[in-house]
Structure formats: structure tokens, C-alpha cells
Structure 1
Amino acid sequence: MNTRRTLLVATLAAVISFSAQAKDPKELVIGTSSGPYADQVKLGIKPILEKQGYKIKLVEFNDYIQPNFALAEGSLDANVFQHIVYLTKFSADHKLALSELVKIPTAPIAIYSKKHKTLNDVKEGTTVALPNDPTNQARALVLLDQLAWIKLKPNTDPIKASEKDIAVNLKKIKLLPLEAAQLPRSLQDADYAFVNSNYALASGLKLKEALITEKISPNYINLVAIRTADKDKQFAKDLAAAYRSREFLAVTNKYFADYAKTDYQLALEKQ
């Protein structure tokens, strides 16, 4: 058993007493990463579903690997932490039958620094930490291209961009790929760091402190994932309806005002 699978077993042991019993369709175990998407469930989704008689157990993970395995193996009923590009690749790579249920309000990936107050300080040898998972690294590289710190090869697919697609390192920066969870801590050493919103906010960083944020592509709007076999079950319909509700829109406006809203939330605001 490798290290990641060992961690998975250890994490799932904490919820086995909840999920191993005869499954009550009104008992839901939702996995998420610590930070804003856990807060969305706690502040918005959990109260809505509890009014309908559900009992909600929230399990927080500290990486992007365990939640999908836990969902596929049945220890979770849903998870909330990823976008469709990541879900599609992860499911294909590991042969998991997982599907998108509903999109959610999403905070952008952003560049932070504890050493510099502006992006204009970039120079030869400047260290830039960025995610090492392929889909989020692509987002970072596209933004670096937009900043003219690097130049990507012509016709590079922005969803699949990697370091091998860098045609010219215009500013001669040094890229430091790290696991997403390590990026907030990298700010102690790196000049700049791309930090995913969930880890940024969980570590105490604020969106207004970012030096620049991406304009989120529809490909990178986060979502609720479930097992494909569960898409037509009542709990899935009720979970999706909770996210699509006016009650959750009010929670979004109160606590997550800087996030990119979903199409259904924008449509609600126009009614």
C-alpha cells in the first residue's frame, strides 16, 4: 500500500462508524477541502438539507487525491473541491465512475507575495511557486503568459499547458512546482506563489491581498461530484437543489461576495 492510500485509510477510519452502518438515505457524508468550500457547506448547504430531514457529516481533506478515492469507494456520498478538468482527468486516469452534479461559486487562483507589494519587482532569478498538478499548473502558466513573464508555444491548449510548452522564459524566472497544499507556506521562501483559493483562504490569506487573480474560465468553476450511479437518487437531486436555491444565493452574497457566481445564481438575480 503506498503512502497516499495509507493516508486515505487513516482518514476514512474517522468516518467509518458513520458510513458503515446500514445506510440511511437521509444520512449524507460530504467530503471537501478545508476552507471556503467547506464553509459553503457549513453555512449554506447543511442548514438547507437539515430542514429537509437530512443528517450531514462533513469530512475535510488536506489534498486533492483522497476525496475522489473516498467517493468512489463509497465512504462519501459527494465531494466538493475540484473543477471539471481535474475530475475528468482523475476519473479517467484511475478508472473511477464519478460525475459532476452541480457547479458552485468559485474563488479564482491568484498570485500572492510576502516579499513584494507589486508584480513589477520581477527580475532574473525571481522564484515563482505554482501547483504541480497538471490542470492547476496550466492555469498558472496561462496567467504567467498573460503577464509576459513567459511565452507559451503557439497553439498551446490553455487547459493542458505544461512547462514543456514554454517557448521563452521572458523574465528568466525560476518555477517551483509544489503540491497545492504547500503553496501558502512557500510564500516564506518564494518571491511569488500561485495559490488555489481553498488553500489560500484556509491559511488566512484574503482575496483582496492577491497581487492578481485569474478571470475564471468555465472549465475551472468548481463543482459537486458524486458517483455516476447516484445521479438520479433523491439525495443528489436535493443536494443540487440546495445549491441552486435562493437561500444559498443569499449565503453566497453575504459570505462569498468576491467569488465567481454560477450561471444559475446569475439567472436567479435577474428574476
Structure 2
Amino acid sequence: MNARRNLLLAALTVGLGLAAPAHAKDPKELVIGTSAGPYADQIKLGIKPILEKQGYKVKLVEFNDYIQPNFALAEGSLDANVFQHIIYLKKFSADHKLALTDLVQIPTAPIAIYSQKHKTLNDAKEGTTVALPNDPTNQARALVLLDQLGWIKLKDKVDPLRASEKDIAANIRKIKLIPLEAAQLPRSLQDTDYSFVNGNYALASGLKLKDSLLREKISPNYVNLVAVRTADKDKQFAKDIAAAYRSREFLDITNKRFADYAKTDDQLALEAGGPAKTAAK
């Protein structure tokens, strides 16, 4: 499995033109991986200009899945990545024995329910098809929302962060659940009655948050973040990335271009007139 993974990473590095491992290049050259869509746009519009003013050369590499960015970061092809929340990062790192660490939170678009066939959630009936993410952490988010809607009933005392289909005690509306890879969920709207879509993929596909039928209230566990290698968390480039996300300049970009997103605690503190954090975690 490790040999196969290494071959895939080697091909990915060549195919995407990723940089060599961080120790072999100029420390002022940063390679940041992200998912296509809003989090890439946040970097392009807000973070990259701030870092370039400090003398950095920033290269952005966009991925179309939630798997390769962490492997590429751990192997040294990336200096940081931006696409995941803390629950996913911790589980993925533990499962694959990767030394990765969260650095700073970012403005986050919520997971939400969309439909091209229905204008209301009240249309759900027996046989209604509902697509949802197939990765464990995001599927749990969808199942909790379905429980809140009253479409399903989860078992008593189930951990909402780890809920899975086996934790469904009753399918009250007799809906048909269709687990799919997160990137496929926007396209699934052509075939399903309803689909849960992660915020980044929704916006990348042209969906608008205001057009969703139900949005989650994001808990701290699901706020997206910048990840770095654990060995790099106290390096100057990591501190500079964190400071850029915590800056008033980036807050202004957030208010202008990402107004529907859940802001970070640092940004809320700035808006309230207080200081944001100044050091990386």
C-alpha cells in the first residue's frame, strides 16, 4: 500500500508540477495545496497578495479530492494545505500515521442541502433520494441535519461527530440515502431529489449558499483550517501564513467577497475591536 501511494505521489508531483520537498528549495517559495473553488479564491484574492508583499513567491496547487493534499503535504511537495476541518485532519493523520498539524482557522462555507427538483424540504416522502458525502466526518454532519429535520432518527447517545448509517435507529420518511464522494455531489443534483453539498464544492460548481434549502450552523469542529507539517508549525513561513489569515486586510476581503461564510474567532474579535491572535498555534 505504501509503495503504491508513493508511486501515486510521484506521478502527482510530476503531473501537477509540484515543488520539490521544502528543504530543497528557497524558504521564500511557498507551495500551498487546496481544493478548487472558494478556498483557492481566498488565497488568490487575500492571502497571496499579503505574503507576496513580504517577499514570498506563492504557488497554488488545486486538488479535486480530499485524499492527496494531505499525502502531498506530509511528503514535502506542499508547504501547507487548505481544505479540511480539524476532525478530518486528526482522523486522516492518525489513520495514515502522518505528522500534520492545524495552523489557523479560515472563513468556512457550511454544508447545505440543495435541490433542482424541489423548492421546499416538505416534499420529502417515501423513496425520496438524498445524496450525502461518503467520507465519515462529512457524512456525520449530513446525518445530524437529517435527524434535526426529522427525516431519520439517530440512536440515543450517538456521537454526532462519528454518526454513520449504522447509527440510524429509524428512517422516518423512508428516504433513500446515496453516499457519494464529496466532489460528485453538485452533479448528483441532476438525478437526486436532494443533495448535501460541502460549501467549497457548492460554490465551485456555481451554487449559491443563499439558494440552499437548509444550511448547518457550523460548529468549531467543522471550521476549515490551514494544515502544515508538525515540524514546520513554528517556522517563520507558517507564522506569516497564520498572520495573513488573521489580518484586517484579509477580513476586508472576507467581508467583500465571502460575506456568507462563517467567520473565524480571530475575525470576529477584529470586528469587535479587539486583537486577533498573533502567534501560530
2:140 matched residue in structure 1: 138
Q: Which letter does structure 1 place at the counterpart of 2:173? A: K
Q: Which string of whole-angstrom CA distances, capped at 9 and with x for unpartnered residues, describes residues 158-178 of structure 1?
A: 000000110000000000000
SS at match of 2:145: helix
Bigger shift: 188-197 or 8-17?
8-17
State the alpha-carbon separation in 1 of the partners of residues 50 and 31 from structure 2: 15
Q: Does 1:101 align with 2:109?
A: no
2:133–2:139: 8 Å Cα contact kept in structure 1?
Answer: yes
Match of 1:228 in 2: 230
2:154 partner letter: L
CA RMSD of aligned residues (A): 1.5
SS at match of 1:182: helix
1:12 partner SS: helix
| Residue 66 (structure 1) aligned to one of 65, 68, 91 | 68
- Stretches of structure 2 that go unaligned for 5 or more consecutive residues are 274-281
- 8 Å Cα contact 1:4-1:66 kept in structure 2: no
- Structure 1 residue aligned with 2:90: 88
CA distance 1:203–1:17, shift in 2 (3 Å) = closer
State the alpha-carbon separation in 1 of the partners of residues 5 and 27 from structure 2.
30
- Matches of 1:187 and 1:28, distance apart in 2: 37
TM-score after normalising by structure 2? 0.93
CA shift in 2, pair 1:43/1:172, >3 Å: same
Runs of 4+ in 1 over 2 A off after TM superposition: 1-11, 14-22
| TM superposition shift of 1:6 | 5.7
Q: Distance in 2 between matches of 1:20 and 1:227?
A: 12
Aligned pairs for 1:33-52 (under 5 A) are: 33-52=35-54
C-alpha distance in 1, partners of 2:59/2:83? 16
Change (3 A) 1:267 1:53: same
CA, structure 1 residues 201+78, in 2 after alignment: closer, same or farther (shift >3 Å)?
Answer: same
2-structure distance, mates of 1:242, 1:40: 11
Following TM superposition, by how much is the alpha carbon of 1:209 offset from its aligned partner in structure 2, in angstroms? 1.1
Output the CA distance in 1 between the equivalents of 2:14 and 2:201: 24
Q: Alpha-carbon deviation of 1:12?
A: 1.7
Native 8 Å contact 1:36 1:198 kept in 2? yes
2:123 alignment counterpart: 121
Equivalents in 2 of 1:69, 1:60: separation in Å? Answer: 14
The count of corresponding residues between Structure 1 and Structure 2 is 271
Q: Secondary structure at the match of 1:144?
A: helix
Counterparts of 2:41 and 2:4, CA distance in 1: 28
1:40 maps to amino acid: Q
How far apart, CA to CA, are the structure 2 residues paired with 1:5 and 1:17?
Answer: 14
Contact 2:82 2:225 in 1 (8 A): yes
Q: Post-superposition shift, 1:232?
A: 0.8
Whole-Å separation in 1 of the counterparts to 2:5 and 2:132: 21
1:13 deviation in Å?
Answer: 1.1
Q: Which residue of 2 aligns with 1:150?
A: 152
1:229 and 1:158 mapped to 2: Cα distance? 31
**1:158 partner amino acid:** P
Q: How do residues 1-271 of structure 1 correspond to structure 2 at under 5 angstroms?
A: 8-16=9-17, 18-19=19-20, 22-271=24-273
Q: Which amino acid aligns with 2:13?
A: L
Q: Distance in 2 between matches of 1:95 and 1:11?
A: 20
Q: How much has 1:4 moved relative to structure 2? A: 7.0
CA offset digits 1:220-271 (Å, max 9, x no partner): 0000000000011000000000000000000000000000000010000011
Relative to 1, partners in 2 of residues 1:209 and 1:4: Cα closer, same or farther, differing over 3 Å?
Answer: farther
Cα shift at 1:18:
3.7
SS of corresponding position for 1:19 = coil
Cα deviation, residue 43, structure 1? 0.3
Secondary structure of the equivalent of 2:127? coil
SS at match of 2:228: strand
